[in-house]
Amino acid sequence: MSTALIILGAGMGTRMNSDLPKVLHKIAGAPMLVHAMKAGASLEPEKTVIVAGHGAEKVTAAAVAWDPDVATVLQTEQLGTAHAVAQAKDALDGFAGDALVLYGDTPFIQPETLEAMAAARSNHDVVVLGFEAADPGRYGRLVTNGDTLERIVEFKDATDEERAITLCNSGVIMAKSDVLFDLISKVGNDNASEEYYLTDIIGIARDQGLSATVVSCDEAETLGVNSRAELAGAEAQFQSRARAAALADGITLSDPDTVYFAHDTVIGRDTIIEPNVVFGPDVTIESDTTIRAFSHLEGCHVSRGSIIGPYARLRPGAELAENTKVGNFVEIKNAQIAAGAKVNHLSYIGDATIGEKANIGAGTITCNYDGFFKHQTTIGREAFIGSNTMLVAPVTVGNGAMTGSGSVISDDVPDGALGLGRARQVTKAGFATKLFDMLRARKAKQSKGH
Ligand code: UD1
Ligand code: MG
C-alpha cells in the first residue's frame, strides 16, 4: 500500500524560548523535522505533507532543502492535533493509500517500528503507536481490550482509573487516508482543553465498527522535545546510539563518549577515531583511515588509508583521495587533495586542487579571497611547496615544480620550475657581535647610574 506522511510541526514550542520554530532545532546537525522525515522515508512515502504554523516559511525552507517534493500546508491557529491533520486534507485529495501521522518534534521513531505499523495496518483500519511509559505523566492513555484499541483518553480528561493505565499514546497514527480525514471531520472540541484531539478518532472509528489496534515501541523512540534541556537529552541519546552503532560496525573509538556524530555520518570499517573528534553533517570516511584527536570534520570525503589530524579541520568540499595526510592545525575547504599528497602542518588550503604526492610545507596559505571573490589555486603532481608559501590565487604551480620557503607566489610556476618570491638575503659579517657589544655597554652604564 502506498503511504503519505503527515508531519505535524505547527506548535509554537514556547518552552524552547526561541525565535526558531521548535521543529527546526537541531539534533546531530539536522533539524528535528528532518529526523522525522528520515524516519518516515523508510515507508517510501509517495507524498509528504508538513503542517506548519509558527515560522512556516523557515519550516518550509528546511523541509524542501531535505526533500524538494514535500508540500507544506499552513495551520494558522493551533486548535489541536486533529485540526492540524485536517489541514493536510486538500494536499492529499484523491490519494488512495495510507496516511501516517508523525510529530516534527519526535525525532527518534525507528524504521522497523513504522514497518511494524504498516504490517498491522493490513489487519486493522487504524493503528496507533503506543509505549509502556516509566512515568506516564500527562500522556494520552490507550484503553485496550485484548488486541483492540477501544479509545484514547487525554490525561486532562481521564478518570483516576484511566490515569492508572501505563500504555501511552506516542501520537503516531496510521489509517487509510480518506478514512482518517472522514474520522477527523467528526471530531469535536468538547473537552478539558477545548481542542480538536486527533486521539478522539479511535472512539469514533470503534463506534463505526472499524478496527483499531496498538503497535508498541520502546519509550526512547517516542521521546519528544519541548525544552532546551530535552533537546540536550535527545542529542545525548542520539550520540550514545551512534557510538554503539559505530563500534558494532567495526570502527575503533578509543574514547567513545568524546566522539560526536552527525545524523548522516558514514564511516568505513577498521577506521580508528581518536578522542574528541566532532563530525558535522555530510561526512563520508572510507575504511582504514585514522582520524586523530581533536579534529573537526564537516561536508567532506576522506578516502581509504588517509590520516587526518590531530587538530585538523576539514570543511565543506574537502575531497581527500587515498593515502593523504592532513596534519595538525591544517584547515581544508573546497579542495581536492589527490592520492598520497601531504599537508602536514599549520596550513590553510581553500578553493584548491592539489596533485598526487604533492608536499605542502608548513604554514602554506592559499590566499583565495580578495574581499569580494574566491579564486582557485592549482598545484601539480609531486610539486613541493616550501614552508610559509603564500599562494595568491588565482595561481598555478605546475607538476614537479617547487616554491621557495617564505615566498609570495602571485605568478604561475611552470612544470618543473622553482618559484621564488621573497627578498634576497643580505648578510653582514660581524654585525651582530658589534650590535650586542654596544647594547651590553649601554645596559651596564644605565644600571651603574641607579
Ligand atoms: C499529544 C496527544 C497525546 C500523546 C502526546 C504524545 C492529542 C490530543 N494528544 O498530546 O495523546 O500522548 O501527544 O506526545 O493528540 N500540533 C500542531 N497543531 C496543533 C496542535 C499540535 O501542529 O494545533 C503539533 C505540535 O507542534 C506537536 C504535536 O502536534 O508536534 C503534538 O502536540 P502537543 O500539543 O505536544 O500534544 P500533547 O498535548 O503533547
Ligand atoms: Mg507534546
d(CA 359, CA 411): 19
- Band (231; pLDDT cuts 50, 70, 90): very high
- Band (281; pLDDT cuts 50, 70, 90): very high
Span from the CA of 182 to the centroid of ligand 2 (angstroms): 24
- Band (449; pLDDT cuts 50, 70, 90): confident
Task: Mention every residue, 6+ apart, whose C-beta is less than 8 A from residue 176.
Answer: 97, 98, 99, 125
Rg of the chain (C-alpha set): 31
Model pLDDT, residue 13: 87
Q: Write out pLDDT tens, residues 106-133.
A: 999 999 999 999 999 999 999 999 999 9
Residue whose C-alpha cell is 659579517: 429
d(CA 106, CA 23): 9
Span from the CA of 56 to the centroid of ligand 2 (angstroms): 19
Model pLDDT, residue 408: 98
Give nearest CA residue, ligand 1 atom 13.
Answer: 171
- Band (12; pLDDT cuts 50, 70, 90): confident
Contact 8, 45 (CB under 8 A): no
Residue 264's beta-bridge partner residues? none
- Average pLDDT across the chain, whole number: 97
Q: Write out pLDDT tens, residues 69-102.
A: 999 999 999 999 999 999 999 999 999 999 999 9
Query: One of 35, 54, 83, 345 is an active-site residue; which one?
Result: 345
Q: Which atom of ligand 1 is nearest to the CA of 77?
A: 23
Q: Which atom of ligand 1 is nearest to the CA of 139?
A: 12
C-alpha distances (whole Å) from 423 to each of 17, 27, 418 are 58, 52, 15
C-alpha distances (whole Å) from 286 to each of 27, 36, 169, 259, 417 are 24, 27, 41, 17, 35
Span from the CA of 225 to the centroid of ligand 2 (angstroms): 8
9-13, 22-26, 144-148, 271-275: which range is least confident on average? Answer: 9-13
Residues with CB under 6 A from ligand 1: 8-11, 51, 53, 75, 78-81, 83-84, 103-105, 139-140, 152, 154, 168-171, 197-199, 224
Model pLDDT, residue 1: 81
Give nearest CA residue, ligand 1 atom 37.
Answer: 139
Decide if pLDDT at 229 tops 80. Answer: yes
Length of the chain in terms of residues written: 450
Dihedrals phi, psi of 26, to nearest 5 degrees: -100, 145
Give the pLDDT mean for 421-429: 96
Instruction: Provide the H-helix boundaries in 108-227.
Output: 111-121, 160-163, 177-184, 200-207
Give the pLDDT mean for 355-381: 98
Q: How many CB atoms lie within 10 A of CB 70?
A: 21
Model pLDDT, residue 403: 98
Give nearest CA residue, ligand 1 atom 28.
Answer: 103
Element (H, E) at 34: helix 32-41
- The question of whether 296 is a catalytic residue gets the answer no
Task: Mention every residue, 6+ apart, whose C-beta is less than 8 A from residue 163.
Answer: 136, 141, 155
Decide if pLDDT at 103 tops 90. Answer: yes
Contact 73, 10 (CB under 8 A): no
Q: Which atom of ligand 1 is nearest to the CA of 12?
A: 26
Ligand nearest to the CA of 137: 1
Measured over all CA atoms, what is the biggest interatomic distance in the chain, rounded to whole angstroms? 109
End-to-end CA distance of the chain: 97
- Residue of 143, 191, 145 lying closest to 167 (CA atoms): 143
d(CA 347, CA 3): 51
Span from the CA of 250 to the centroid of ligand 2 (angstroms): 37
Give nearest CA residue, ligand 1 atom 1.
Answer: 171
Decide if pLDDT at 450 tops 70. Answer: no
Give the pLDDT mean for 428-446: 97
Give the pLDDT mean for 45-60: 96
Q: Write out pLDDT tens, residues 26-48.
A: 999 999 999 999 999 999 999 99
Judging by beta carbons within 10 Å of its beta carbon (0-12, 13-18, 19+), is residue 367 exposed, middle or buried? middle
Work out the percent of the chain whose per-residue pLDDT is above 90.
98
Q: How many CB atoms lie within 10 A of CB 365?
A: 18
Give the pLDDT mean for 312-333: 98
Ligand nearest to the CA of 141: 1
Span from the CA of 285 to the centroid of ligand 1 (angstroms): 39
d(CA 280, CA 35): 15
Task: Mention every residue, 6+ apart, whose C-beta is less than 8 A from residue 108.
Answer: 35, 39, 220, 221, 222, 223, 234, 237, 238
d(CA 417, CA 11): 64
Contacts of 160-168 spanning 24+ positions with Cβ under 8 A: 163/136, 165/136, 165/141, 166/132, 166/133, 166/136, 167/130, 167/131, 167/132, 167/133, 167/141, 167/142, 167/214, 167/216, 168/130, 168/131, 168/132, 168/133, 168/136, 168/139, 168/140, 168/141, 168/142, 168/222
Model pLDDT, residue 346: 98
* Ligand 1 mutation target, pool 22, 33, 50, 81, most atoms within 8 A of CB: 81
Q: Which atom of ligand 1 is nearest to the CA of 197?
A: 8
Span from the CA of 305 to the centroid of ligand 1 (angstroms): 48
Contact 67, 48 (CB under 8 A): yes
To 5 degrees, how large is the angle CA 209–CA 214–CA 220? 155
Give nearest CA residue, ligand 1 atom 21.
Answer: 81
Decide if pLDDT at 155 tops 70. Answer: yes
Q: Which atom of ligand 1 is nearest to the CA of 198?
A: 15
* Ligand 1 mutation target, pool 12, 101, 103, 106, most atoms within 8 A of CB: 103
Q: Which atom of ligand 1 is nearest to the CA of 224?
A: 14
Ligand nearest to the CA of 106: 1
Give nearest CA residue, ligand 1 atom 11.
Answer: 140
Span from the CA of 37 to the centroid of ligand 2 (angstroms): 18
Model pLDDT, residue 448: 86
- Residue of 347, 338, 342 lying closest to 319 (CA atoms): 338
Span from the CA of 238 to the centroid of ligand 1 (angstroms): 22
Decide if pLDDT at 431 tops 70. Answer: yes
Give the pLDDT mean for 423-445: 97
To 5 degrees, how large is the angle CA 408–CA 385–CA 310? 110
Give nearest CA residue, ligand 1 atom 35.
Answer: 11
